[in-house]
A and B are shown apart, each in its own frame.
Chain A
Amino acid sequence: KAGVTQTPRYLIKTRGQQVTLSCSPISGHRSVSWYQQTPGQGLQFLFEYFSETQRNKGNFPGRFSGRQFSNSRSEMNVSTLELGDSALYLCASSFSSGVEAFFGQGTRLTVV
């Protein structure tokens, strides 16, 4: 059974640009959550999608957005990148009635 797949693994962008990150959950998982991990703030919840609907949202500016497709794959988009957006972005998926969240290996975003 394939795990959670995040692409790309590494990304370098310039301030002001926008970026799209992708997450393919484990087959059968309908919930996808996104987290931002930085040395200073630790792991912070961005948002969660379930059956193509945003179910919860963290305290991030509107530049951070996401969506989920009918096959449960999810994308997150960050517009007008700032240096402070440099982070590891982790995606997690879970079965609808499950407890455990399974994480991908993350996308390392560097903004220069």
Chain B
Amino acid sequence: AQTVTQSQPEMSVQEAETVTLSCTYDTSESDYYLFWYKQPPSRQMILVIRQEAYKQQNATENRFSVNFQKAAKSFSLKISDSQLGDAAMYFCAYRSLYEQGGSEKLVFGKGTKLTVNP
């Protein structure tokens, strides 16, 4: 079974600075998806960025980018020019392409609480 580990329970960053959240995962599969989700106090999980394992190029979405190291099974999220609205729980998630019935089950890490200081 796949596992996802987020080793930083909490992180803080100054507004306008850059912060990197870490995520490692364990799998024997060669093809999969990786995601970063954000969960603000409103509780709704919002997709921040996704990465397909077969793509070598790191995904980027505006101020959010990832450093995907497939061999090291590492998937870190970099937030540039941090804003107060970025404060939330961030979850790293793994999705297999080989789940039974084509299931879209997500395996989540325990999360990192990001605080943005003004």
Contacts and interface: CB of A to CB of B under 8 A. Distances in A.
Chain B residues touching A, range: 20 to 34
Interface in A76-96: 88, 90, 92, 94
A34 to B, nearest CB: 11
B102 interface: yes
Contacts of A88: 43
A83 to B, nearest CB: 21
Contacts, number: 60
A48 B45 contact: no
A103 B44 contact: yes
Interface of B: 33, 37, 42-47, 50, 52, 91, 95, 99-111
Q: Closest 9 CB pairs between A and B?
A: A56-B103, A103-B45, A43-B108, A55-B101, A42-B110, A105-B44, A106-B43, A55-B103, A45-B105
